[in-house]
Amino acid sequence: MKGHVKGAVLREFVLFCEQHDDRARLARALGALHEAYPSDVDPERSGGGFLASRWYPAELVHVLVDETIAGRSPAEQDAIAKHAASVIMGRTLRGVYKFLFSAFATPDLYARHAQKLWSLHYDNGSVHIENKLGDSGSSVTHARVVRWISHHPFVCKLNGSATMPIYEAMGCRDVRCETIACLANGDEHCEWRVQWSRDV
């Protein structure tokens, strides 16, 4: 077992694909998943029939993602991850997680409580965030995830891309993110470096 992923974010990803990506590709992916997980997937329903409050096996998510990105270049995958993260986080930060996010809507509070947000999506993995002063009037955040057994390279891209709308929602400006470590590259953890204007 590779742990579980919450249906809320899974459903949002399928809705993103329905509205912004190749619907025929998505239909094939959901059809294949329905054969393997008939009680979990309903290709005829919006969002694949995934329930926001339910936990799903990470293996199911990995199959869905693999089908979605099959044959696409790394640059195309990066673009999809960035677009999907922006749309999904825009919905969730204004919707189901609005109250929770409002409780730590500054970088320092977010660093202290990021595990709570992470644990709404995954039942494994430990998040460590450290904020530092950077150069030229900016601040730098290092976000590290360890013991993430549900890891998938594309899902990792989504999480890295999600840092930008999260920090922008906190009022940060000029947000940039780069991946500096990833399990997919043989590293022992995943880590992102987020740079943002500190006059917030």
CA distance 27 to 42: 10
Q: Is the model's pLDDT at 166 over the cut of 50?
A: yes
Would the pLDDT of 3 be above 70?
yes
Nearest to 110 by CA among 93, 135, 131: 131
199: three-class secondary structure by DSSP: coil
What length does the chain have?
200
Categorize the per-residue pLDDT at 200 as very low, low, confident or very high, splitting at 50, 70 and 90. Answer: very low
Dig out the tokens for 129 from the structure: 């965030």
> Band of the pLDDT at 91, cuts 50, 70, 90?
confident
143: part of which helix (H) or strand (E)? strand 138-146
Q: How many CB atoms lie within 10 A of CB 153?
A: 18
**Cβ-based neighbours of 117, under 8 Å, separated by 6 or more:** 97, 100, 101
Helix (H, G, I), strand (E, B) or coil at 131: strand
Q: Alpha-carbon distance 136 to 89, whole Å?
A: 28
DSSP letter assigned to residue 122: B
Q: Where are the domains of the chain?
A: 4-71, 104-197
CA distance 176 to 6: 27
Mean pLDDT in the chain? Answer: 89
% of the chain at pLDDT higher than 70: 92
Of residues 134 and 185, more confidently modeled: 185
d(CA 140, CA 61): 31
pLDDT at 62 over 90: yes
Alpha-carbon gap, residue 118 to 113, rounded angstroms = 9
3-state DSSP: the chain helix, strand, coil percent, rounded to 5? 50, 20, 30
Q: What is the mean pLDDT of residues 13-29?
A: 91
Are the C-beta atoms of 179 and 150 separated by less than 8 Å? no
